[in-house]
Structure 1
Amino acid sequence: MPESRVHSRRHLLLGGAAVSTGALLTACTSNEPKDQKPATNAGPAADDKPGAPVTIGFAGPQADHGWLNAINENAKRRAEKYSDVTLEITEGSNDTAAQIGQVQTLINKRVDVLVVLPADGKALTQVGLQAMKAGIPVVNLDRIFASPQAYRCWIGGDNYGMGLNAGRFIGEKLKDKKDATVVELAGMDSLELTRQRTQGFDDALKNYPNIRKVARQAAEFTVESGQAKMAQLLQAQSKFDALWNHDDDQGVGALRAIAQAGRKGFLMVGGAGAKSAMDAIKADDGVLKATVLYPPTMAASAIDLARALGQKKGVGGMAELEIPASITLYSAVVTKENVDDYLPTGFS
């Protein structure tokens, strides 16, 4: 799963899914925008005419997770929308040394721009610095390099915001229930992103004194781990009112464990935005009532930004001549009421 930087004042907080050089996403002005529909990866704006040819090198980790596979697919599909873009894509790897070698190969090919989702942001910082020193601008995707000198632009998700919005959703659902209890199925505790999601969730619950978190289990972002750890939670907790699950892939396993135990009487909120989760939310015949987005369409946005850099353009909808230094995507909450809007962004 992705690991990103905690949001900061230097980040531009954006709502929706993808940034186009023809139309910048509208910034969110509230936690629950009512009239604005999310952008989809439908392609560049009609008035975004072809420009100078740009060769973009794309290096991501191994697609061994639904979200990571969606990252690669979004990048490929977005590049195909542009007649002036050539995409040089590497074979994804979770081996740091292998990915460094792949990025160095792209540097040696003298691509115009690099888009890199590092397997380990800290470990790949040096190769980012190498590219920038060679005059190749880098779009750092999601997992952040250790130095801002290693990239021209960072774009990624808001892990703290995921937990915050999950906590707010659950809090509003349970605000009138006396002595409400919640449990948490987290991701991998070795990752900063997991700690950020938990912190956001805990901070949101501070606004609801009637709600207590009574248990937490960390899984590993897999179906198998989700099922095993959820089974442990269910055995330990005979009753609770809500479950916050960090990841929709491990949520598939969690739902299996819940079904096997025959448990009902609580609501579940997932994370990331898998199509299977959105389908379950739309059907509304189980415990899963919402999922908080961590949109893989950020890879499509990264291609847009790389194209703009290669063509020395700014981003449409902004007054500045240059693209932003940092963009944080908004963690929208998908519910039965808005799921049809977001289904096109769901990943398998």
Structure 2
Amino acid sequence: MRGTKRFRLARPVAAALGAVLLVGGLAACGNSDTGGAADDGKITLGFSQVGAESGWRTANTTSVKEAAAAADIELKFDDAQQKQENQIKAIRNFIQQKVDVIAFSPVVESGWDTVLKEAKDADIPVILTDRAVDSADKSLYKTFLGSDFVKEGRLSGEWLLEQTKSATGPVNIVELQGTTGSAPANDRKKGFAEAIAANPNLSIVASQSGDFTRAGGKQVMEQFLKANPKIDVLFAHNDDMGLGALEAITAAGKVPGKDIIIITIDAVRDGMQALADGKFNFIAECSPLLGPQLMDLAKKVHAGEEVPPRIETEETTFTQEQAKEALPNRKY
């Protein structure tokens, strides 16, 4: 204190001031429970996106932004540019800003426990979207919203099994994997391998990451074609890598969809067009339109409601004729 002189408030003034402080204290307690900086009735959602590596991801970002606006949720958006360190930094920024809810699509599965513990300690609920984490502590996040990647890989493999059931000789498959260490890359590879194991004639002769990008798909497919004189099937973990591979296959003098069967996952518009044109042969859908469901979950976890630990999106598969039928009304 700067001086020793004391002041005594008159009793009515002191009582009024005490009431104001009490109300203010209660309001502050309410804010700390939700993690928000100010209780204006509007939820603030911090969302860290993987990046913009594909048409799927662009559609996913658009869905999240449009749904937030429609739900009157304030969105703090961050693009991690496919780097885990950027996502960890963004999540810590969200914690510092005292957002109400954090959601993110993890670049890779591992290495999240520390920052998720920080969010938990700050009483900010976390929602995983599109991609999961491999943390053993399930209390670090409220729920996962997204696809069953193992199922997508399995459906792709089962379709190939049906198409090659009469094959008497070896069927050589090359695989364009997604980003190394990511949930969709790990799970789609697993599901596909489990399915094709039912036919010993089917074998993966080369498998490498194209990082979910069109450029990566083209570059790796060029390497596959040089190293493997006989390729019967390409399994690409997403449409964009498959579209890049089309360029490499065509440049090598082969006909995509005929000389090499092409199976992809996602069903974005460019991929669906390639399927309708006969350049792709089969696509397992992975819907990017998660925005409305995410906003609904954000409201529920902010209100303290119980939500299922895993919520899967409804998806299907497409052949050429089905793609032709679906394309006119395709939203992405």
* Bin for the TM-score computed over the shorter chain: 0.7 to 0.9
Structure whose residues are more often helix by fraction: 2
Identity of aligned residues (%): 24
Q: Distance in 1 between matches of 2:221 and 2:267?
A: 19
Secondary structure at the aligned position of 2:281 is classed as strand
By how many angstroms is 1:279 displaced? Answer: 0.8
Q: Does 1:276 align with 2:265?
A: no
- TM-score, normalised to structure 2, is 0.75
By how many angstroms is 1:198 displaced? Answer: 2.3
Q: Does 1:298 align with 2:290?
A: yes
Out of 58, 64, 68, the residue aligned to residue 69 of structure 1 is 58
Secondary structure at the aligned position of 2:293 is classed as helix
Out of 122, 125, 137, the residue aligned to residue 125 of structure 2 is 137
* Equivalent AA in structure 2 for residue 117 of structure 1: S
| Gap runs ≥5 in structure 2 | 1-40
- Equivalent residues in 2 for 1:1-348, closer than 5 Å: 53-82=42-71, 84-141=72-129, 142-144=131-133, 146=135, 147-187=137-177, 190-191=180-181, 193=183, 194-209=185-200, 211-213=201-203, 215-220=205-210, 221-264=212-255, 265-284=259-278, 286=279, 288-312=280-304, 322-329=306-313, 332-339=316-323, 340-341=325-326, 347=332
By how many angstroms is 1:60 displaced? Answer: 2.0
CA 1:145–1:86: 2 relative to 1, 3 Å: farther
Q: Distance in 2 between matches of 1:162 and 1:103?
A: 29
8 Å Cα contact 1:60-1:117 kept in structure 2:
yes
Relative contact order, higher structure (CA 8 A, sep 6+): 1
8 Å Cα contact 2:174-2:231 kept in structure 1:
no
CA 1:86–1:191: 2 relative to 1, 3 Å: same
Q: Which of structures 1 and 2 has the bigger CA Rg? A: 2
8 Å Cα contact 1:54-1:311 kept in structure 2:
no
CA 1:217–1:98: 2 relative to 1, 3 Å: closer
Q: Distance in 2 between matches of 1:107 and 1:187?
A: 33
CA 1:331–1:170: 2 relative to 1, 3 Å: farther
Q: Distance in 2 between matches of 1:182 and 1:107?
A: 49
Residue of structure 1 in register with 2:15 after alignment: none
Residue of structure 1 in register with 2:13 after alignment: none
CA 1:206–1:102: 2 relative to 1, 3 Å: closer
Q: Distance in 2 between matches of 1:65 and 1:120?
A: 16
* Equivalent AA in structure 1 for residue 152 of structure 2: M
* Equivalent AA in structure 2 for residue 226 of structure 1: G
By how many angstroms is 1:95 displaced? Answer: 4.2
What is the RMSD computed on CA atoms of the aligned residues? 2.7
CA 1:216–1:298: 2 relative to 1, 3 Å: farther
CA offset digits 1:18-59 (Å, max 9, x no partner): xxxxxxxxxxxxxxxxxxxxxxxxxxxxxxxxxx64222212
8 Å Cα contact 2:145-2:312 kept in structure 1:
yes
Residue of structure 1 in register with 2:10 after alignment: none
- TM-score, normalised to structure 1, is 0.71
Q: Distance in 1 between matches of 2:314 and 2:66?
A: 22
By how many angstroms is 1:268 displaced? Answer: 1.0
CA offset digits 1:250-280 (Å, max 9, x no partner): 2122100111122133321112223211011
Q: Distance in 2 between matches of 1:267 and 1:119?
A: 29
| Gap runs ≥5 in structure 1 | 1-51, 314-321
By how many angstroms is 1:148 displaced? Answer: 1.3
Secondary structure at the aligned position of 1:58 is classed as strand
CA 1:176–1:94: 2 relative to 1, 3 Å: closer
CA 1:168–1:346: 2 relative to 1, 3 Å: farther
Residue of structure 2 in register with 1:316 after alignment: none
By how many angstroms is 1:188 displaced? Answer: 5.0
